[in-house]
Structure 1
Amino acid sequence: MTLSRSAEPRDNRGVLPTALTPVPFAPEISLFLVTAPVGLFEVTGGDFHSDQPPPFWAFAWAGGQALARHLLDDPSLVAGRRVLDVATGSGVAAVAAAHCGASAVACTDVDPAAVEAAHRNASANGLSLAARVDDPDVVLAGDVFYSPIVAPKMVATLRGFRKNGATVLVGDPGRGFFPERLFELVTEYTVPVPAHLEETEALPTGVWRMK
């Protein structure tokens, strides 16, 4: 099912066509994703604007898919608990947590379009996300260590939640700036990804728990 023209997500370049598509590694849920064989910056016309993040939310990244699969395989990790999905992107991990019976799920992202996408995707699965969750029991973060600028900020954010008693789970496919010393490996998957996005058809991706 393709979004109607009035419902299609927009950025400063206009309409970004997507289709409701089962998540490759978590087909129990579906997301509105770009299905054309294009990469992240091809979607933006090759442009990067510092005041407008690229549409990370239009793709199901490996780290988020791994987190979603981990939760779907063991719903007890979030069932009845308050969950926050940080840097939500498409909202794949948040939607999975809601699917698994979390008492409340909220998401955050520096890009308002990502938060909108996560809520739209939850609704497409017959679920809903909360506007906010105070004192989350579980914090999720998929594919957040992708740059030397973002990584230390994310470490500080996640450490804050961990010090407050939250279980912090991160999905990471070896992006290069992941501070492994702060985490312990819970499980690892081989996650299917679009070759035009990642230059490979699958990525070994770990689910890690913050120490």
Structure 2
Amino acid sequence: MPITPAPAPNAADFVRTHTRLAPASPGFLTEVRLHLADQVFALWEETETASGRDNAPPPFWAQAWAGGLALARYVLDHPETVAGRHVLDLASGSGLVAIAAVKAGAASVAVSEIDPLALDAISLNAAANAAPLGPSLGDVLDADPTPTADVVLVGDAFYERTLATRVLAFLTRARSHGATALVGDPGRTYLPRTVFDSVATYAVPVQRELEDTETKQTTVWKLSGTVAAAT
């Protein structure tokens, strides 16, 4: 089924109001346009105010993160990675990687995302890029990967231990079904590099406010065929 907006009224308007539509990364990745926020921390406060919650999830959907940028760049530069194949984009955030996969010729692209505002942002971003996406699967990390997912893409999801453990377990199961698993990562703490093979490295421009630097060396990794033995 196609991606549907979150149930909260005016959620899409909230995304539009607090972001600007711009290239994902000027000078690095301009093929995809996203609704981006210049001040992510200020937007986080706005989401908490709008939702009436003190624990609203961070607006990861409002920023093009280094891992996602590198992975999207790789997919666009190597369309054979996804062309004609069924793709699942985990922790989709803004939908950057999913949209790149559509542009690279994927047969279908499903997204997995649990933040309702992110789903609205993904819908808006997909429309802005004329990139049809669907279905939206929510949290799939504890499920068995569908055999129809030929490629699983993950942009920048190894920043927290519990999430990293769940993502790796899901990728391992997907790999056992014959899927290719690719991860974009800028050196996050919880990526187990010993079970991945490096396929490309990029110098990715990033916001100093978020990364304490203006460029992150970011690697695209492919899950090794020997992961089962390594884990």
Q: TM-score range by the shorter chain?
A: 0.7 to 0.9
Equivalent in the alignment of 2:64: 60
Shift of 1:194: 1.2
With over 3 angstroms needed to count, the CA separation of the structure-2 counterparts of 1:205 and 1:50, relative to structure 1, is: farther
Shift of 1:26: 1.3
Taking the TM superposition and a 5 Å limit, the aligned residue runs for 1:1-211 are 7-9=12-14, 17-24=18-25, 25-34=28-37, 36=38, 38=39, 40-45=40-45, 52-131=56-135, 134=146, 135-211=148-224
| 2:14 partner letter | P
With over 3 angstroms needed to count, the CA separation of the structure-2 counterparts of 1:114 and 1:125, relative to structure 1, is: same
Quote the Cα distance in structure 2 between the aligned partners of 1:169 and 1:84.
Answer: 11
Query: What is the aligned-residue RMSD (CA, Å)?
Result: 2.2
Quote the Cα distance in structure 2 between the aligned partners of 1:201 and 1:186.
Answer: 23
| 2:41 partner letter | F
| Structure 1: runs of 5+ lacking an equivalent | none
Quote the Cα distance in structure 2 between the aligned partners of 1:6 and 1:171.
Answer: 29
Quote the Cα distance in structure 1 between the aligned partners of 2:17 and 2:162.
Answer: 27
Quote the Cα distance in structure 2 between the aligned partners of 1:44 and 1:124.
Answer: 23
> Runs in 1 of length 4+ with deviation above 6 angstroms?
46-50
Quote the Cα distance in structure 2 between the aligned partners of 1:55 and 1:165.
Answer: 33
Task: State, as a whole percentage, how many aligned pairs show the same letter.
Answer: 45
TM-score by length of 2: 0.80
Greater helix percent: which structure?
Answer: 2
Quote the Cα distance in structure 2 between the aligned partners of 1:138 and 1:50.
Answer: 36
Quote the Cα distance in structure 1 between the aligned partners of 2:128 and 2:84.
Answer: 22
| 1:23 partner letter | A
| Structure 2: runs of 5+ lacking an equivalent | 1-9, 138-145, 225-231
Quote the Cα distance in structure 2 between the aligned partners of 1:189 and 1:180.
Answer: 17
TM-score by length of 1: 0.87
1:161-187 deviation digits (Å, cap 9, x = unpaired): 111111000000001111111110001
